[in-house]
Amino acid sequence: MENKFEIVWANCLNIIKDNISHEKFKTWFEPILPVKLEENMLTIQVPSQFFYEWLEENFVDLLKSTIKKELGNKGRLEYSVVMDNSYYNNMPYTVKFPASNKKLIRNSPISMPLDINKSSGVSIPNPFIIPGLKKVQVPSQLIENYSFENFIEGDCNRLARSAGLAVANNPGKTSFNPLLIYSNVGLGKTHLANAIGIQIKNNFPEKTVLYVSSEQFLSQYISSIRNDSMNDFVHFYQMIDALIIDDIQFFAKKEKTQDVFFQIFNQLHQNGKQIVITSDKAPVDMEGIIPRLLSRFKWGLSADIQTPDLETRIAILQKKLYKDGVEMPEDVIEYIAYSITTNIRELEGALISMLAQASLNRKEINLELAKHIIDKFVTSTSREISIDYIQKVICDYFSVPLNAINSKSRKREIVQARQLAMFFSKKLTKTSLATIGLHCGNKDHATVLHSCKTINNLIETDKQFKVYVEELEKKIKL
């Protein structure tokens, strides 16, 4: 006959099973054993501290709601951590929570005592390896949606994407080891890093791939010091076949963390394991990184991701709309792409905001709605007016083809549109004269200055032209 605690936990498992994938359930919940039930507190046994920490980090909300459903609002969960020591000396070693007279970390339905009792003379086994699980079952932590299929290629990221594919198809065997991907915030380096990991997993299922943020690595390192398990921490990372560290710049000025990562890096590299790193700066611009580690970053390839051009931004929006099964007028897509130029995350955020507004308020998706949403969105993101957008407004105003501005045409209306584009680019953006000329038919800075002087002269001498300029400025700032 089953005990009550076994029945309660079986009911919890039935709920949990319906809310997560079969693989996650098999990995994280099947190894758990119910121990007892006293005064609405269910005790479950887990095989390691890392196992407990993973449950708390990834499934705490699901556990809370499940326990509440089974035991009521006063239901609580207690963990008994039994660490497998067989790969050390076959001596049983148990750490239980709560130990006698210990306080709980927090007063919540899911609780964990603060302190751990250890038997003297016995070291804690590796907290980063789950006993009973095979090496290939180490969770990769990859974001499945961040695949190569969902990564739009453009001139801005072609080198980084090509290098990433080469690494994914032959991890640890190319000259791109380590592969360091760097860019400003929101341009896709995390997406590309995950895509590399996903592709490696698809191509080589037997390989262990791990994606970890620099903050998570640092947190685990600190825990290993606290638990006197530094060797286990290092050994765990040294067994990874493809290690992906995101936002390495957060290691800056943390010399002990850098020292241990240096040790891990060397071991992986010597054994032909792949290392992928992301950063917001190129190695030459990194500050607070110890020289010997910085030199390792330069061994392989450093590939940057630049701000996406107009065509890439439009393609990103179209891809997202296609994936979500949503249709949108081309002029609306173009308006969003012209308006937000420096951050893909903000670009997609504006699109989501507009779709939400249209759906919730039952509004038609049109240019008017787009302008309304973008006006609010760009206020919060401090967006600058772009040269691309200036050109579009001017070409629409004079009914001139957009590509004409970058052509060599000497037709009067084309030349004037080009000069106006240079004039407003100089006036309304912080872009250099050389860059403005490059975007307006590959002209030099002297031509840009001449164009601005010509427009100023026309404003002073031609009243109708002055009206055109004032109307255009209002439209650009709209």
The predicted-structure confidence for 28-80, as pLDDT tens digits, reads as follows 888 888 988 988 888 888 876 667 777 877 788 889 889 988 888 888 888 88
Instruction: Name the more confident of 384 and 390.
Output: 390
Is residue 241 within 8 Å of residue 273, measured between CB atoms? yes
**pLDDT class of 1 with cuts at 50, 70, 90:** low
> Hey, what amino acid is at 471?
E
- Give the 3-state secondary structure of residue 181: strand
pTM for the full model? 0.55
Euclidean distance between CA atoms 134 and 122, whole angstroms: 24
Euclidean distance between CA atoms 33 and 347, whole angstroms: 47
The predicted-structure confidence for 245-285, as pLDDT tens digits, reads as follows 999 999 998 989 999 999 999 999 999 999 999 999 888 88
Residue 437 has what pLDDT? 86
Residue 139 has what pLDDT? 83
Average the pLDDT over 218-244 and give the result: 88
CA dihedral 15, 21, 23, 24 (to 10 degrees): -60
Residue 137 has what pLDDT? 62
| Token couple for 461 | 């001498």
Taken in order 356, 362, 364, 367, the sign of the CA dihedral is negative
The predicted-structure confidence for 144-173, as pLDDT tens digits, reads as follows 889 999 898 888 898 999 999 999 999 998
Range ranked top by mean pLDDT from 63-67, 114-118, 137-141: 63-67
The predicted-structure confidence for 401-428, as pLDDT tens digits, reads as follows 888 888 888 888 899 999 999 999 888 8
Euclidean distance between CA atoms 63 and 52, whole angstroms: 12
Domains and CATH numbers, the chain: 4-96 (3.30.300.180), 158-304 (3.40.50.300), 310-381 (1.10.8.60), 387-477 (1.10.1750.10)
**pLDDT class of 384 with cuts at 50, 70, 90:** low
Say whether pLDDT at 223 is over 90.
no
Instruction: Name the more confident of 27 and 334.
Output: 334
Say whether pLDDT at 464 is over 60.
yes
Q: For residue 127, is the peptide bond before it cis, meaning its omega torsion is within 30 degrees of 0?
A: no
Euclidean distance between CA atoms 389 and 354, whole angstroms: 19
Is residue 238 within 8 Å of residue 280, measured between CB atoms? no
Backbone angles phi, psi at 367, to 5 degrees: -65, -35
Taken in order 182, 319, 170, 133, the sign of the CA dihedral is positive
Euclidean distance between CA atoms 363 and 230, whole angstroms: 58
The predicted-structure confidence for 296-348, as pLDDT tens digits, reads as follows 888 888 999 988 888 888 898 998 888 878 888 888 888 888 778 777 888 88
Non-local CB neighbours of 316 within 8 Å, separated by 6+ positions: 152, 308, 344, 347, 348
Say whether pLDDT at 118 is over 70.
no
Rg (CA), the chain: 29
- Looking up tokens 């772009």, which residue turns up? 386
Euclidean distance between CA atoms 71 and 314, whole angstroms: 52
| Token couple for 439 | 């975007």
- Give the 3-state secondary structure of residue 434: helix
Instruction: Name the more confident of 27 and 304.
Output: 304
The predicted-structure confidence for 4-25, as pLDDT tens digits, reads as follows 889 999 999 989 988 887 767 8
Residue 371 has what pLDDT? 79
Per-chain mean pLDDT for the chain: 80
Euclidean distance between CA atoms 93 and 114, whole angstroms: 19
Euclidean distance between CA atoms 455 and 415, whole angstroms: 11
Is residue 129 within 8 Å of residue 236, measured between CB atoms? yes
Average the pLDDT over 84-105 and give the result: 33
Say whether pLDDT at 99 is over 70.
no
Instruction: Name the more confident of 40 and 360.
Output: 40
Say whether pLDDT at 461 is over 80.
yes
Is residue 310 within 8 Å of residue 338, measured between CB atoms? yes
**pLDDT class of 95 with cuts at 50, 70, 90:** very low
Strands 93-96 and 76-83, by their bridges, are: antiparallel
Euclidean distance between CA atoms 121 and 102, whole angstroms: 22
Backbone angles phi, psi at 123, to 5 degrees: -85, 150
Residue 50 has what pLDDT? 62
Euclidean distance between CA atoms 440 and 25, whole angstroms: 57
Euclidean distance between CA atoms 336 and 328, whole angstroms: 11
Residue 423 has what pLDDT? 93
Euclidean distance between CA atoms 465 and 448, whole angstroms: 19
Is residue 337 within 8 Å of residue 317, measured between CB atoms? yes
Q: Long-range contacts for 92-99 (Cβ within 8 Å, ≥24 apart)?
A: 93/119, 93/122, 93/124, 93/125, 95/49, 95/124
The 8-class DSSP code of residue 283 comes to G
Residue 377 has what pLDDT? 63
The span from the first CA to the last CA of the chain, in angstroms, equals 74
% residues pLDDT > 90 (the chain): 26
DSSP symbols for 96-135: ESSPTT--BS-SSSB--BS-----TT-PPP-TTS-TT--G
Query: How many CB atoms are closer than 10 A to CB 106?
Result: 9
Where are the extended beta strands (E) located within 47-171? 76-83, 93-96
Q: How far is CA 331 from each of CA 315, 368, 392, 474, rounded to the nearest angstrom?
A: 14, 11, 11, 19
